Amino acid sequence: MLIHSVEIFLARHGMRPTVFGRRAAQDPRLVLDLRKGRSPRAPMDQRIRGFMEGYEFGRESTNVR
């Protein structure tokens, strides 16, 4: 489920839910809505997952020397 992946991401990076929502989908209520059972359509789901993957990749590439 998407919310499970988001919760892991938030915990790993110490990011607040509203910040995540704004950055991933320009929606500060995104995580709250997901927690309440919202199921985004496929394009939004891909956008959110893409944000998380890109963020992870960006963090990894800045740690490489």
| Separation of alpha carbons 41 and 60, rounded Å | 29
Say which residues have a Cβ less than 8 Å from residue 27's Cβ, sequence separation at least 6.
Answer: 21, 33
* DSSP notation for 7-54: HHHHHHHT--HHHHHHHHHS-TTHHHHHHTT----HHHHHHHHHHHHH
Q: What is the pLDDT of residue 26?
A: 97
Tokens standing for residue 55:
């963020």
pLDDT of 65 higher than 90: no
- Say if residue 61's pLDDT is above 70: no
Predicted confidence band at 63 (pLDDT cuts at 50, 70, 90)?
low
Q: Mean pLDDT over residues 18-30, rounded?
A: 98
Q: Encode pLDDT of 40-58 as tens digits.
A: 999 999 999 999 999 988 8
How much is the average pLDDT of 2-19?
98
Helices 17-25 and 2-13, packing angle to 10 deg:
120
